[in-house]
Amino acid sequence: MNRMKMQKGVGMVEVLVALLVLALGVLGYVALQLRAVDASAEALSKSQAMLIMRGLAEDIRSNPQAFAEYPVRVREYSNYSADTAEPSTCMNTACTAVNMATFDAYQAAKNAHQYGMKITMENCPGVTPAMALRRQCLFIFWGKTEPKRTTVTAEDGTETTTIDASECMQGNGTYVDGASCLMMEAY
């Protein structure tokens, strides 16, 4: 009988400890699910970014007459917003190679904007001014990672816009930790 008195409440303590262990397991599972959702969202963003960049890279390859125009045209639309004026469309009318490059850059920027992204085109990492052939890379940014845009006006009134992709890619060609961006060599 004495043993029974000592055992009173022990079953309740065991149940409470079991509930505590179960609650910790459920919290761990919830944290794991949240990480899985974040990873899925990041994978979706990367897939969308790759589709946009591949599309523009194909446009560039299909318009070799305006090869040199694409970096300038893409940079012009790197700050695209819903208020950005659409260039003359090349869908149903004949266009020059430069008009097509402008239209392609606009379409890529518009598509990127629909997914909350910004696209630009700059020299690839490791390219120096001394190089005769400067490889061009497409950069696409989303989330908190933004390209740094600088416009300089010369004495003759011409404006030169440069985009700094250092928030995405280091000079040695490695991604910056925590950056939400992709780079693709276009040519």
The stretch 7-26 carries a mean pLDDT of: 83
SS3 170: coil
93 pLDDT exceeds 90? Answer: no
The stretch 37-49 carries a mean pLDDT of: 90
Q: What angle do CA 66, 127, 61 make, to 5 degrees?
A: 25
Rounded to whole angstroms, the Cα distance separating 57 from 105 reads 10
- When comparing pLDDT for 161 and 181, which is higher? 181
The residues with which 34 forms a beta bridge, in sequence order, are: none
pTM, rounded to two decimals: 0.77
> Given the structure tokens 């950056």, which residue do they identify?
179
- pLDDT at position 51, please? 95
Give the mean pLDDT of the chain: 86
95 pLDDT exceeds 70? Answer: yes
- pLDDT at position 130, please? 78
The residues with which 123 forms a beta bridge, in sequence order, are: 136
Rounded to whole angstroms, the Cα distance separating 71 from 100 reads 13
Contact 134, 127 (CB under 8 A): yes
Give the DSSP per-residue string, 84-110. Answer: PPP----SSS---HHHHHHHHHHHHHH
